[in-house]
Protein backbone atom coordinates (compact mmCIF):
# COMPACT_ATOMS: atom_id res chain seq x y z
CA UNK A 1 0.00 0.00 0.00
CA UNK A 2 2.75 2.47 0.94
CA UNK A 3 4.65 1.58 -2.17
CA UNK A 4 1.87 1.99 -4.79
CA UNK A 5 -0.86 4.30 -3.41
CA UNK A 6 0.80 7.65 -4.10
CA UNK A 7 2.46 6.75 -7.45
CA UNK A 8 -0.80 5.26 -8.79
CA UNK A 9 -2.78 8.25 -7.55
CA UNK A 10 -0.32 10.56 -9.29
CA UNK A 11 -0.38 8.56 -12.54
CA UNK A 12 -4.17 8.30 -12.77
CA UNK A 13 -4.55 11.94 -11.72
CA UNK A 14 -2.26 12.97 -14.59
CA UNK A 15 -4.40 10.97 -17.04
CA UNK A 16 -7.54 12.55 -15.61
CA UNK A 17 -6.02 16.03 -15.78
CA UNK A 18 -4.71 15.70 -19.34
CA UNK A 19 -7.91 14.18 -20.72
CA UNK A 20 -10.01 16.69 -18.75
CA UNK A 21 -8.12 19.65 -20.23
CA UNK A 22 -8.37 18.10 -23.71
CA UNK A 23 -12.13 17.60 -23.30
CA UNK A 24 -12.58 21.16 -22.03
CA UNK A 25 -10.86 22.61 -25.10
CA UNK A 26 -12.34 19.99 -27.49
CA UNK A 27 -8.92 18.62 -28.41
CA UNK A 28 -7.81 15.08 -28.98
CA UNK A 29 -9.48 11.87 -30.09
CA UNK A 30 -12.96 10.71 -29.17
CA UNK A 31 -11.37 8.09 -26.91
CA UNK A 32 -10.57 10.82 -24.37
CA UNK A 33 -14.15 11.02 -23.08
CA UNK A 34 -14.56 7.35 -22.04
CA UNK A 35 -10.90 7.26 -20.96
CA UNK A 36 -11.50 10.27 -18.70
CA UNK A 37 -14.67 8.80 -17.19
CA UNK A 38 -13.44 5.23 -16.65
CA UNK A 39 -9.92 5.97 -15.51
CA UNK A 40 -11.26 8.62 -13.13
CA UNK A 41 -13.30 5.81 -11.59
CA UNK A 42 -10.15 3.64 -11.43
CA UNK A 43 -8.41 6.61 -9.74
CA UNK A 44 -10.65 6.02 -6.72
CA UNK A 45 -8.77 2.82 -5.82
CA UNK A 46 -5.27 4.32 -5.49
CA UNK A 47 -6.85 7.43 -3.94
CA UNK A 48 -8.32 5.19 -1.22
CA UNK A 49 -4.89 3.58 -0.74
CA UNK A 50 -3.37 7.07 -0.52
CA UNK A 51 -5.95 8.09 2.10
CA UNK A 52 -5.27 4.98 4.16
CA UNK A 53 -1.53 5.60 3.98
CA UNK A 54 -1.93 9.24 5.04
CA UNK A 55 -4.86 8.81 7.45
CA UNK A 56 -2.97 10.11 10.49
CA UNK A 57 -1.98 13.30 8.66
CA UNK A 58 -5.56 13.79 7.49
CA UNK A 59 -6.89 13.41 11.03
CA UNK A 60 -4.29 15.93 12.23
CA UNK A 61 -5.44 18.43 9.57
CA UNK A 62 -9.00 17.97 10.85
CA UNK A 63 -7.96 18.44 14.50
CA UNK A 64 -6.11 21.66 13.66
CA UNK A 65 -9.08 22.88 11.60
CA UNK A 66 -7.00 23.29 8.43
CA UNK A 67 -9.00 20.65 6.55
CA UNK A 68 -12.40 22.36 6.60
CA UNK A 69 -11.75 25.60 4.69
CA UNK A 70 -10.19 23.83 1.66
CA UNK A 71 -13.05 21.30 1.62
CA UNK A 72 -15.62 24.12 1.72
CA UNK A 73 -13.83 25.91 -1.14
CA UNK A 74 -13.90 22.70 -3.20
CA UNK A 75 -17.59 22.13 -2.43
CA UNK A 76 -18.49 25.75 -3.22
CA UNK A 77 -16.67 25.52 -6.56
CA UNK A 78 -19.21 22.91 -7.70
CA UNK A 79 -22.25 25.15 -7.07
CA UNK A 80 -22.13 26.89 -10.47
CA UNK A 81 -22.78 23.62 -12.29
CA UNK A 82 -26.03 23.09 -10.39
CA UNK A 83 -27.42 26.58 -11.08
CA UNK A 84 -30.26 26.89 -13.60
CA UNK A 85 -29.50 28.31 -17.02
CA UNK A 86 -29.02 32.06 -17.00
CA UNK A 87 -30.94 34.52 -19.17
CA UNK A 88 -27.81 34.94 -21.33
CA UNK A 89 -28.21 31.34 -22.50
CA UNK A 90 -25.17 29.93 -20.73
CA UNK A 91 -25.41 26.83 -18.59
CA UNK A 92 -22.74 24.98 -16.71
CA UNK A 93 -21.45 21.65 -17.99
CA UNK A 94 -23.79 21.27 -20.98
CA UNK A 95 -26.90 21.17 -18.78
CA UNK A 96 -29.09 22.10 -21.73
CA UNK A 97 -28.07 19.00 -23.69
CA UNK A 98 -28.72 16.77 -20.69
CA UNK A 99 -32.17 18.31 -20.27
CA UNK A 100 -33.04 17.81 -23.95
CA UNK A 101 -32.06 14.14 -24.30
CA UNK A 102 -35.06 12.78 -22.33
CA UNK A 103 -37.39 15.02 -24.35
CA UNK A 104 -35.98 13.76 -27.65
CA UNK A 105 -36.01 10.10 -26.64
CA UNK A 106 -39.64 10.25 -25.41
CA UNK A 107 -41.09 12.17 -28.39
CA UNK A 108 -42.63 10.38 -31.40
CA UNK A 109 -40.33 9.88 -34.40
CA UNK A 110 -42.54 12.25 -36.41
CA UNK A 111 -41.56 15.05 -34.01
CA UNK A 112 -37.89 14.07 -33.67
CA UNK A 113 -37.23 13.61 -37.40
CA UNK A 114 -37.06 17.33 -38.31
CA UNK A 115 -34.10 17.66 -35.92
CA UNK A 116 -32.27 15.23 -38.23
CA UNK A 117 -33.49 17.10 -41.35
CA UNK A 118 -35.95 14.40 -42.42
CA UNK A 119 -39.56 13.39 -41.97
CA UNK A 120 -40.86 10.66 -39.67
CA UNK A 121 -41.01 8.05 -42.43
CA UNK A 122 -37.43 8.67 -43.41
CA UNK A 123 -36.26 8.37 -39.80
CA UNK A 124 -38.24 5.15 -39.34
CA UNK A 125 -36.64 3.80 -42.53
CA UNK A 126 -33.17 4.85 -41.35
CA UNK A 127 -33.61 3.00 -38.03
CA UNK A 128 -35.04 -0.03 -39.86
CA UNK A 129 -31.96 -0.02 -42.11
CA UNK A 130 -29.90 -0.35 -38.92
CA UNK A 131 -31.75 -3.61 -38.20
CA UNK A 132 -34.32 -2.21 -35.77
CA UNK A 133 -38.00 -3.07 -35.89
CA UNK A 134 -39.99 0.16 -36.19
CA UNK A 135 -43.76 -0.22 -36.41
CA UNK A 136 -44.91 3.41 -36.48
CA UNK A 137 -43.77 7.02 -36.69
CA UNK A 138 -45.67 7.45 -33.42
CA UNK A 139 -43.09 5.32 -31.58
CA UNK A 140 -40.46 7.12 -29.54
CA UNK A 141 -36.76 6.32 -29.66
CA UNK A 142 -37.05 4.94 -26.11
CA UNK A 143 -39.91 2.61 -27.17
CA UNK A 144 -37.97 1.44 -30.24
CA UNK A 145 -34.89 0.80 -28.10
CA UNK A 146 -36.89 -1.20 -25.54
CA UNK A 147 -38.71 -3.23 -28.21
CA UNK A 148 -35.41 -4.10 -29.88
CA UNK A 149 -33.42 -4.80 -26.71
CA UNK A 150 -31.11 -1.86 -27.38
CA UNK A 151 -29.74 1.00 -25.30
CA UNK A 152 -31.71 4.24 -25.84
CA UNK A 153 -28.49 6.20 -26.43
CA UNK A 154 -27.41 3.74 -29.14
CA UNK A 155 -30.72 4.16 -30.98
CA UNK A 156 -30.49 7.94 -30.58
CA UNK A 157 -26.99 7.83 -32.09
CA UNK A 158 -28.30 5.78 -35.03
CA UNK A 159 -31.03 8.36 -35.61
CA UNK A 160 -28.63 11.28 -35.73
CA UNK A 161 -25.67 9.56 -37.34
CA UNK A 162 -24.66 11.58 -40.38
CA UNK A 163 -24.46 9.93 -43.75
CA UNK A 164 -25.40 6.33 -44.28
CA UNK A 165 -29.03 5.33 -44.22
CA UNK A 166 -31.99 7.63 -44.65
CA UNK A 167 -30.45 11.10 -44.64
CA UNK A 168 -32.09 13.91 -46.62
CA UNK A 169 -31.89 12.11 -49.94
CA UNK A 170 -33.40 8.86 -48.63
CA UNK A 171 -36.76 7.40 -49.59
CA UNK A 172 -39.79 9.65 -49.55
CA UNK A 173 -42.57 9.32 -47.02
CA UNK A 174 -44.76 7.70 -49.71
CA UNK A 175 -42.12 5.08 -50.49
CA UNK A 176 -41.95 4.16 -46.82
CA UNK A 177 -45.73 3.80 -46.46
CA UNK A 178 -45.94 1.66 -49.62
CA UNK A 179 -43.68 -0.91 -47.96
CA UNK A 180 -46.30 -1.70 -45.28
pLDDT at position 43 is: 92
DSSP code for 64: H
The Cα–Cα gap between 130 and 76 comes to: 46
The list of the chain residues with pLDDT below 50 reads 91, 164-180
Contacting residues for 168 by C-beta, under 8 A, at least 6 apart: 117, 118
pLDDT at position 164 is: 47
pLDDT at position 163 is: 57
pLDDT at position 16 is: 92
**0.85 surpassed by pTM:** no
Over residues 113-134, the pLDDT tens digits come to 888 888 999 999 999 999 999 9
The Cα–Cα gap between 22 and 36 comes to: 10
pLDDT at position 149 is: 93
pLDDT at position 56 is: 95
Amino acid sequence: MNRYGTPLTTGFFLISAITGVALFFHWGPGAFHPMHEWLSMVLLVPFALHLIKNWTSLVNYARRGTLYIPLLVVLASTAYFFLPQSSSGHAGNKQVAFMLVPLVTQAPLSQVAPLAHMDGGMLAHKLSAHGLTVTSEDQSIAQIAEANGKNTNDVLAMAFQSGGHGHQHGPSEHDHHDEH
